[in-house]
Amino acid sequence: MGVSNDTVASHERFAAKYDLQCYLLADPDGALMSRLGVRDPISGTGARTTFVIDKSGVVRHVFEKVSVKGHADAVLSAVAAL
């Protein structure tokens, strides 16, 4: 699941453009990003962060300052290690 402060319509366009098969959550006021500790208090945007959460709802790994290259492989490795 992806979360950002973009609108639902913006998420729909983004998902269609890249043929995404995951959920995108609109958080326009940044409430969820704030609770996750990834919202910049000045810009209001979220830092690119990935949380790997196990079946019990426990956060098992956090990737901060995510760059796209190689990230999917790193996340898949973290998930496989659960």
Structure confidence by residue, pLDDT tens digits, 4-52? 889 999 999 999 999 988 899 999 998 999 998 899 888 888 888 999 9
Fold (topology level) of 2-80: Glutaredoxin (3.40.30)
CA 17 to chain centre: 18
Amino acid (one-letter) located at 71 = H
Give yes or no for residue 61 having a pLDDT over 90: yes
The per-residue pLDDT for 47 is 84
User: What pTM, to 2 d.p., does this model score?
Assistant: 0.76
pLDDT band of residue 1 (cuts 50, 70, 90) is: confident
Token look-up 């790193």 returns: 74
Q: What pLDDT, on the 0 to 100 scale, is given for residue 67?
A: 85
